[in-house]
Chain A
Amino acid sequence: MSRGKLLLRKFAWALVTVMVVVTFNFFLFRVLPGDPAKAGVKDPRITPQQVAALQERFGLDKPVFLNLEEGPWYDSQYFRYFGALAQGDLGTSYSFKNRTVAELLSRSIVNTVWLVLPAQLLAIMAGVALGLLAAWKRGTKIDVSALTFGLFTWSLPTFFLGIILLFVGSRYLGFPIGGRVTVGGAPLSAWSQAGDVLGHLFLPTLTFTLVLLGEYLLIMRSSVVEVFSEDYILTAKAKGLSTIEIIRRHGLRNAMLPIVTLIALNLGFTVSGAIQVETVFSWPGLGKLTVDAVSQRDYPLLQGAFLLLAVSVIAANLIAELIYLRLDPRVTEV
Chain B
Amino acid sequence: MSAWARLRRNRLFWIGAGMLGSAILVATLASVIAPYDPYAQVRVTVSDIYVGPSGTHLLGTDDAGKDVLSGLIYGARVSLLVGFTAALISLFIGGVIGIIAGYRGGRTGNLLMRFTDFFLVIPDLALQIVIVAIVGQSLRNIILVIGALGWTTTARLVRAQTLTVRERKFVQRAKAIGAGDLHVLIHHVFPQVVPLMLANTVLVISLAILSESTLAFIGLGDPTVISWGQMLNFAFTRGAVSAGAWWALMPPGLAIVWVVLGTTLLGNAAEEVLNPRMTRHHLEPEAPLPPPDASTAAGPVPDTVLAIRDLRVGFEADGGELMAIDRVSFDVRPGESLGLVGESGCGKTTAMLGSLRLLPPGGHIVSGAVWHDGRDLARLDSGELRDLRWDSLSVVFQGAMNALNPVQRVGAQITEAIQLHKPETDDAAARGQARRLLELVGMSPDWADQYPHQFSGGMRQRAMIALALACNPSVVVADEPTTALDVMIQAQVMDLLVRLREEFGMALVLITHDLGVVAETCDRVVVMYGGVVAEQGTVAEVFSDPLHPYTRLLLQAFPDIDDPDRALVSIPGAPPRLDDLPTGCRFAPRCPQAFERCGQERPADYQVGDGRRVSCFLVEEMSRV
Residues in chain A within 8 A of chain B (CB atoms):
17, 20-21, 28-29, 32-34, 36, 135-136, 138, 151-152, 154-160, 163-164, 166-167, 170-171, 177, 222, 224-226, 228-243, 246-247, 249-251, 253-254, 265, 267-269, 271-272, 275-276, 279-280, 290-291, 294-295, 297, 302-303, 305-306, 309-310, 313-314, 317, 327-330
Contacts and interface: CB of A to CB of B under 8 A. Distances in A.
B113 to A, nearest CB: 10
A243 B286 CA distance: 11
A154 B264 contact: yes
A32 B124 contact: no
B416 A239 contact: yes
Contacts of B241: 163, 166-167, 170-171, 177
Given A20-B118, A160-B253, A276 B206 contact: no
Interface string B364-406: 0000000000000000000000111111001101010111111
Given A240-B391, A294-B129, A151 B261 contact: yes
Given A28-B131, A28-B134, A330-B406, 16 more contacts: A21-B122, A29-B134, A138-B279, A154-B264, A155-B264, A157-B214, A157-B260, A160-B232, A160-B257, A225-B278, A237-B358, A242-B386, A279-B218, A309-B126, A313-B121, A327-B407
B265 A151 contact: yes
Interface stretch (B194-202, B242-250, B522-530, B574-582): B242-250
Given A32-B134, A33-B134, A34-B136, A268 B407 contact: no
Q: Which of B218, B253, B277, B394 has the most CB of A within 10 A?
A: B218
A249 B236 CA distance: 49
A25 to B, nearest CB: 8
B223 to A, nearest CB: 13
B125 interface: yes
B133 A232 contact: no
A268 B122 contact: yes
Contact of B120 (A156, A250, A254, A265): A265
Given A235-B403, A238-B358, A239-B416, A268 B124 contact: yes
A177 B244 CA distance: 12
A280 B281 contact: no
A279 B261 CA distance: 24
B121 A272 contact: no
B1 interface: no
Interface residues of B, dominant DSSP: helix
A116 B185 CA distance: 45
A330 B232 contact: no
Given A163-B236, A167-B249, A238-B358, A297 B390 contact: no
Given A265-B120, A280-B236, A234 B358 contact: yes
A73 to B, nearest CB: 27
B278 A226 contact: yes
B280 A249 contact: no
7 contacts: A157-B217, A230-B402, A239-B416, A250-B408, A254-B406, A291-B218, A329-B453
Nearest to A293: B133
A171 B406 CA distance: 53
A225 B242 contact: no
A231 B232 contact: no
B130 A238 contact: no
B230 interface: no
A238 B133 contact: no
Contacts of A230: 282, 402
B417 interface: yes
Q: How large is the interface on B (under 10, 10 to 19, 20 to 34, 35 or more residues)?
A: 35 or more
B427 to A, nearest CB: 15
Contacts of B486: none
A43 to B, nearest CB: 15
A302 B123 CA distance: 14
B126 A240 contact: no
Given A226-B277, A294-B133, A272 B123 contact: yes
B402 A229 contact: no
Contacts of A242: 386
B115 to A, nearest CB: 10
B219 interface: yes
Nearest to A178: B241
Nearest to A305: B126
A16 to B, nearest CB: 9
Contact of B210 (A151, A157, A167, A238): A157
Contact of B242 (A160, A177, A250): A177
Contact of A234 (B218, B260, B397): B397
B390 A234 contact: no
A242 B256 CA distance: 46
A314 B119 CA distance: 11
Contact of B394 (A177, A238, A302, A313): A238
Contact of B121 (A33, A237, A305, A317): A317
Contact of B281 (A164, A229, A238): A229
Contacts of A327: 407
Contact of B253 (A163, A170, A310): A163
Given A232-B406, A250-B408, A155 B242 contact: no
Contacts of B188: none
B213 interface: yes
A239 B214 CA distance: 52
Nearest to A152: B261
Q: Which of B125, B127, B268, B395 has the most CB of A within 10 A?
A: B125
A192 B624 CA distance: 97
A171 B245 CA distance: 11
Contacts of B284: 138
Interface in B441-475: 451, 453, 467
A76 B206 CA distance: 43
Contact of B264 (A34, A151, A276): A151
B118 A17 contact: yes
B420 interface: yes
A82 B388 CA distance: 69
B407 A159 contact: no
B274 interface: no
A280 B246 CA distance: 15
Nearest to B206: A155
Interface in B182-237: 206, 210, 213-214, 217-220, 232, 236
B68 to A, nearest CB: 15
Contacts of A250: 405, 408
B135 interface: yes
Contacts of A305: 126
Top 5 A-B pairs, shortest CB-CB distance: A228-B281, A272-B125, A240-B389, A271-B123, A160-B253
Contacts of A294: 129, 133, 218-220
B273 to A, nearest CB: 15
A158 B215 CA distance: 12
B126 A290 contact: yes
A239 B282 contact: no
Contact of B257 (A21, A135, A155, A166): A155
Contacts of B232: 159-160, 163
A174 B532 CA distance: 72
A275 B130 CA distance: 13
A228 B261 CA distance: 29
Contacts of B261: 151-152, 155
Nearest to B279: A225
Contacts of A280: 236
Given A229-B281, A235-B397, A272 B406 contact: no
Contact of A28 (B130, B268, B280, B417): B130
A328 B280 CA distance: 24
A271 B421 CA distance: 50
Contacts of B244: 171
